[in-house]
């Protein structure tokens, strides 16, 4: 969860910064295509003033994103710790039967070869695998170990002390099948259009919105925040899909899709900014943990760069306008400005 906060922040930063990235590719496009893109994007409303339910304004968030967060997080995602992700891609959907077949080759996810997996992680996985195999080969009596010695004679226990304490049982579905886990290089599998659409995609988002009971126009604060977070995430995903869309044999920004799904809806854009600020705030609250986290992968260069970038992302900011715009209670910090904690 802790490292996913930074990964989520990086994804949202890229979504907020998407307009600048699209502008950067204009120089490689024919003039008529550039004019068409500009015509479409001009339909997107310009956001000004304060981001609702926060204490920041759009203008200073944009400046801080482009000048500080985007460069740092864009490089962070290329380093080993954030580049490689471990997942079980064969796990069944727990909510409904899902047809996992897709005719589009871009739906597939490329598994990392053994040689590509960070050396330290691979060694840890192999050690854990050997331990599981040894445990599986042990008779049940041996697996109990000193269980017999842990029995307690409660016959003479004082009144009020003979009770069964609470115990935490692991939910079977939450226990990962380590033998089915693989590593994925996220740079080789970027967030973009994969052809996943139609009823399957529609059913996912329909369930997310409807099963969370967002049916009333008068939501309490907690419900409104929750809805805005989901909407902001949805908007971020659509922005990435539109930014890197497949047109036959090449990829590029699909401005029509962006306007139809995001740009023509001011509320969706506002919710994306709100979600971005919310994630930055969460990162700020976790900053002490993030600063002391073990980011080692066995790659000496990357292992040095990651903590440095995390430190800079959390504290090393000098943007007076952003600090003035995004004031909030501070939670104790090193002698520097933790902008993430002010959002």
Question: Is 77 annotated as a binding-site member?
Answer: no
The separation between CA 165 and the C-alpha centre of its own chain, rounded to angstroms, equals 36
Which pLDDT belongs to residue 1?
43
State pLDDT tens for residues 50-98. Answer: 998 888 899 989 988 988 889 999 999 999 999 999 999 888 888 887 7
- Residue with the two structure tokens 């004031």: 327
Question: Is 261 annotated as a binding-site member?
Answer: yes
Tokens describing residue 1: 């969860």
Which pLDDT belongs to residue 140?
61
State pLDDT tens for residues 170-187. Answer: 555 566 788 889 999 999
**pTM assigned to the model:** 0.73
Question: Is 205 annotated as a binding-site member?
Answer: yes
CA–CA dist 305, 80 (Å, integer): 10
Instruction: Select the more confidently predicted residue: 129 or 248.
Output: 129
Q: Where are the alpha helices (DSSP H) in the chain?
A: 2-16, 18-24, 31-41, 58-64, 70-76, 80-83, 119-137, 140-144, 199-210, 221-243, 255-258, 266-285, 287-291, 300-314, 320-325
Which pLDDT belongs to residue 22?
45
Question: Is 121 annotated as a binding-site member?
Answer: no
What are 85's strand-pairing partners? 184
State pLDDT tens for residues 209-232. Answer: 887 766 666 777 788 888 899 999
CA–CA dist 122, 115 (Å, integer): 9
Which pLDDT belongs to residue 305?
95
CA–CA dist 191, 240 (Å, integer): 6
C-alpha angle 173/174/180, rounded to 5°? 80
CA-CA-CA-CA torsion sign (230, 234, 235, 236):
positive
pLDDT score of 308 more than 90 = yes
State pLDDT tens for residues 242-297. Answer: 988 888 888 888 888 888 899 889 999 999 999 999 998 888 888 889 999 999 99
Tokens describing residue 303: 């292992």
Contact 322, 276 (CB under 8 A): no
């Amino acid at each position: 969860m802790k490292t996913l906060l930074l990964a989520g922040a990086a994804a949202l930063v890229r979504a907020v910064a998407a307009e600048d990235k699209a502008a950067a590719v204009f120089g490689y496009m024919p003039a008529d295509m550039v004019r068409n893109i500009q015509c479409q994007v001009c339909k997107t409303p310009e956001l000004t003033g304060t981001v609702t339910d926060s204490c920041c304004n759009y203008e200073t968030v944009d400046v801080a994103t482009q000048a500080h967060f985007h460069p740092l997080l864009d490089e962070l995602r290329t380093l080993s710790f954030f580049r490689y992700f471990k997942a079980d891609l064969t796990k069944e959907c727990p909510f409904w039967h899902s047809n996992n077949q897709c005719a589009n080759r871009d739906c597939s996810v490329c598994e990392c070869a053994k040689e590509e997996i960070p050396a330290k992680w691979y060694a840890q996985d192999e050690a854990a695998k050997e331990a599981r195999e040894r445990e599986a080969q042990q008779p049940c009596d041996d697996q109990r170990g000193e269980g017999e010695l842990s029995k307690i004679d409660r016959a003479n226990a004082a009144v009020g002390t003979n009770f069964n304490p609470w115990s935490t049982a692991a939910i079977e579905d939450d226990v990962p099948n380590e033998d089915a886990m693989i590593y994925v290089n996220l740079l080789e599998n970027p967030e973009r259009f994969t052809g996943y659409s139609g009823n399957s995609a529609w059913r996912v988002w329909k369930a997310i919105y409807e099963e969370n009971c967002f049916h009333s126009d008068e939501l309490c604060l907690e419900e409104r925040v929750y809805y805005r977070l989901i909407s902001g995430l949805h908007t971020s995903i659509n922005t990435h899909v539109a930014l890197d869309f497949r047109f036959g044999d090449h990829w590029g920004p699909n401005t029509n899709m962006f306007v139809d799904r995001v740009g023509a809806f001011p509320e969706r854009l506002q919710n994306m900014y709100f979600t971005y600020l919310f994630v930055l705030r969460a990162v700020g609250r976790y900053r002490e943990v993030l600063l002391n986290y073990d980011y080692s992968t066995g790659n000496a260069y990357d292992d040095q760069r990651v903590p440095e970038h995390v430190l800079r992302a959390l504290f090393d900011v000098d943007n007076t306008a952003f600090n003035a715009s995004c004031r909030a209670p501070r939670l104790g910090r090193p002698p520097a400005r933790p902008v993430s904690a002010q959002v």
